[in-house]
Structure 1
């Protein structure tokens, strides 16, 4: 049985950080628009946005080496690192404005100052890290970054990296105190609460099965409730698919040509977690290392301080795995069900060209607990088996897309898919994901509402002063921007 509801202005699919951010941005400029949000689970932010399904890193390229790859000629560029940092500053500024107007609660309920560090071993890697530091230090947004290859200094910053380590081992770190730990689940819940208080409708336990275009250009959204029978059809002028790993198949159901050629490669993962107060008290940073050969950027090993619901823990990982599910609570048929004639060849080409990734995943799947603990001890030599336990992290779906030269490529990052008329959009991919939710959703609005956006932008700039101008163009702008958000959010610099 199919029943229909009245037409609404906006349907948001997925109860995560992306939908919550987009809905809140829209409410700021169009408070008269009707919004319905659908989440298939019984609570919000239970997939990628959940605090225990990600590392909580406020990705600003302060510690992630994959944002500054070494070119074949040995050169490095800071351009991408600066771009990622600029994007996170937009998120910081917007969150700060929401704290000031009461949309978000106390800053420590969702963001906490946590230095970001990069840690390397071996003289060749030490020399590489020094070169990276010297490049980044010239950029205003990275002016506070510090470098050290002195074990005594490193021990002051992060004692667990040095304790019981071989004295003759060459090690080095960079450190930036403006780094943060973010509970994106908390941000999602607070934003959604505010949406509902201001007229939006939240539908939990409701799974969107498909979206179908009407002749008038609007969209019918077919929703199945977890309790009861039948399907409800909601008609919408604009649809955003922010369903994480589930976005691919919903965009495919829409029939828009822009999704053709896209596929998804799911990667699951685990973290080692420690809650022992004595151990946790010794490590107050997020420390990223170098990825193993053939490993995807999202599998870069890191030892992280976490603050979730007021409690402090340490995480180490991630350890990659494989399942055909596109969501942590998804279906074993997700991957085979996403294969179409238009994306089969790109997916085959990726499989043939990414043998190193396949090899890496197989080795990860076969890794014993002893091997996983040994990987941790490369960062933390004193790690004891009994202090750590495994938790399952969120599911990530890496984008596979057609490529004119290679046939298909695996893309590490996020991709906004927008219908030609701007009436539907969705987000595919993973890292840096939640950290850049604000610029990503501003991009969606700019693409989908080109006539309204110039007027909306005036409102957004009052809340996000760096929007459209950035901060890295001068030391004065960078320092002033960082200081302003740090004061409101009670974080460093």
Structure 2
């Protein structure tokens, strides 16, 4: 009896399981944590650059692309700063800064090139299953906003990446571009819009599934679903031992030994980074922001709207909360979404734990969080106002963009969670960082991606940045450089001021990805009633002259 009691004690069970796990330790070159677009992109790069490396991917859900990469959990926009006004802030003198917009557009071009290359390899199949042409439109009303949009258009016309953009203040022209936003609108209201025909709608969940399916055909790739990462231990040889368990049965644990770890787990990345106990993790905290959308599936309305129309964000609103009424194509189904409406939850993932925020807060990041809260009272006020909204408030916001909207045509949908970065800084105590950020240890053995928008749209560029940091010698090698020129031909080439190069790249990816290609216009005087965008048929491009 005593022997049975001893064996059944909690401590003895743990020791037995650890001993069994140690005997079954899996060894891999690369461990990808999270089955989303970032891990899928990095895994695809590494498989092509180093085909002999073994790669293991672990995902806590029962299938991949179920959180931030899922088509219903994000805006699905090919974020290229064509319409997102928050990427072009206005200066005190009235001028508009376009540096961020150019940076994001160039990054998205790398994603297009990466996807086009994968189509050529047969890794990605049927481009229209994951990317479709949808014009990108900025739409504003009121004298102040119209003046800003005009200045923005003028500034962007100086860059070849934006020279297919059209501008108008004419009601009829804007109605031709986006009927829903103009029908029923006061004809005396001062409005303005820009339209770019090279915009896209992207299903990142489908890209993720196809990339991972291709990786699974390789003998040296392993996908482990329903697998939760529990802890990390750094080894003397700078490798890592990671303890994982079955999501549904935490007592069943095993070990994975990896030379390099990438934490691409969306909102959960911060907590996992903290578990590594690397010094860099102490600099970060996270603040979760959720989102809801109004969804319309009425074919009469969906068929009447082929555009992504972005407006001006409210004061204090985070970048992901810019109001927009969008055509979405999710798994072959056309819908129209309006939103987002910010929500608050202490979860870091849509299917996360209510304890996520509290468990990620510690003595290192508490003060930065407080400082950010005090310095961003407008954001706090905005979020409180959003949380207190009711159905009438949300429908009123929709009517501002779609005057003839009817409640019966729309339903509310809870989208995914995003975690905004809060970074500790000596001067300010803490600062709210927008966008995404790669965090890694000094040795380059573990890296995590924190943050949100533009995120998935620039995955190819972000993973290049990561590899430049953690695989610096490899990235500088002739072999990798030559391979990367095939995977992303525009890598390392600034498009600014190089119209021929940028248009050639855009034409090539448009052809391969089966997208419309809009010719650039000459940046002359701002047309008040511009012509519709010319769409041309692109001949196959065999080679790209750089």
Alpha-carbon deviation of 1:470?
Answer: 3.0
Query: Could you say which residue in structure 2 is the equivalent of 1:105?
Result: 125
Give the structure 2 partner of residue 407 of structure 1: 429
CA–CA distance in structure 2, aligned partners of residues 68 and 482 of structure 1: 22
Contact 1:486/1:492, CA 8 A, preserved across alignment: yes
Distance in 2, matches of 1:367 and 1:279, equals 25
Query: Does structure 1 conserve the Cα–Cα contact (< 8 Å) formed by 2:95 and 2:151?
Result: no
- Which of the numbers 251, 256, 260 marks the counterpart of 1:234? 256
Aligned equivalent of 2:452: 430
Q: Is the 8 A contact 1:212 1:253 kept in 2?
A: no
In 2: Cα distance, 1:370 partner to 1:294 partner: 22
The whole-number CA distance in structure 2 between the counterparts of 1:147 and 1:101 is 38
Deviation at 1:65, TM superposition (A): 0.6
Distance across 2 between alignment mates of 1:270 and 1:60: 22
* 1:483 corresponds to: 507
Match of 2:410 in 1: 388
**What is the rounded CA distance, in whole Å, between the counterparts of 2:324 and 2:345 in structure 1?**
23
Q: 2:232 aligns with which of 175, 192, 211?
A: 211
CA distance in 2, matches of 1:472, 1:96: 22
Mapped to 1, the partners of 2:93 and 2:267 lie a distance apart of 36
Q: How does 1:12-91 map to 2 (within 5 A)?
A: 12-91=32-111
Q: How does 1:367-378 map to 2 (within 5 A)?
A: 367-378=389-400
* Aligned pairs for 1:258-269 within 5 A: 258-269=280-291
Shift of 1:474: 1.3
Per the alignment, residue 468 of structure 1 pairs with 492
User: 1:230 and 1:103 mapped to 2: Cα distance?
Assistant: 34
d(CA) in 1 for partners of 2:212 and 2:451? 22
Could you say what secondary structure the match of 1:167 adopts?
coil
Determine the structure 2 residue equivalent to 1:439: 461
Deviation of 1:227 after TM superposition, in Å, equals 4.0
**1:71 Cα offset (Å):** 2.3
- Distance in 2 (alpha carbons) for counterparts of 1:111 and 1:372: 29
Report the CA distance between 1:492 and its aligned residue.
Answer: 1.8
Counterpart mapping for 1:312-323 below 5 A: 312-323=334-345
Structure 1 position 372, deviation (Å): 0.3
Aligned mates of 2:332, 2:346 — CA distance in 1: 34
The alignment status of 1:132 with 2:135, answered yes or no, reads no
Q: Give 1:465 deviation, angstroms.
A: 1.1
Q: After TM superposition, give the deviation of residue 6 of structure 1 in Å.
A: 2.8
**Alignment check: 8 A CA contact 1:116 1:178 kept:** yes
Unaligned runs of 5+ in 2: 1-16, 518-546
Aligned to 2:321: 299
Distance in 1 between the 2:97 and 2:144 partners? 19
Alignment partner of 2:141 out of 121, 144, 166: 121
| Alignment partners' CA distance in 2, 1:43 and 1:230 | 19
Partner of 1:194: 214
Q: What is the alpha-carbon distance in structure 1 between the residues aligned to residue 231 and residue 208 of structure 2?
A: 24
- Which residue in 2 is equivalent to 1:330? 352
Determine the C-alpha separation between the residues in 1 that align with 2:481 and 2:337.
39
Rounded Cα–Cα distance in structure 1 between residues aligned with 2:248 and 2:81: 44
Report the CA distance between 1:144 and its aligned residue.
Answer: 0.1
- 1:204-234 superposed Cα distances (whole Å, 9 cap, x missing partner): 1001122221122111111110244321110
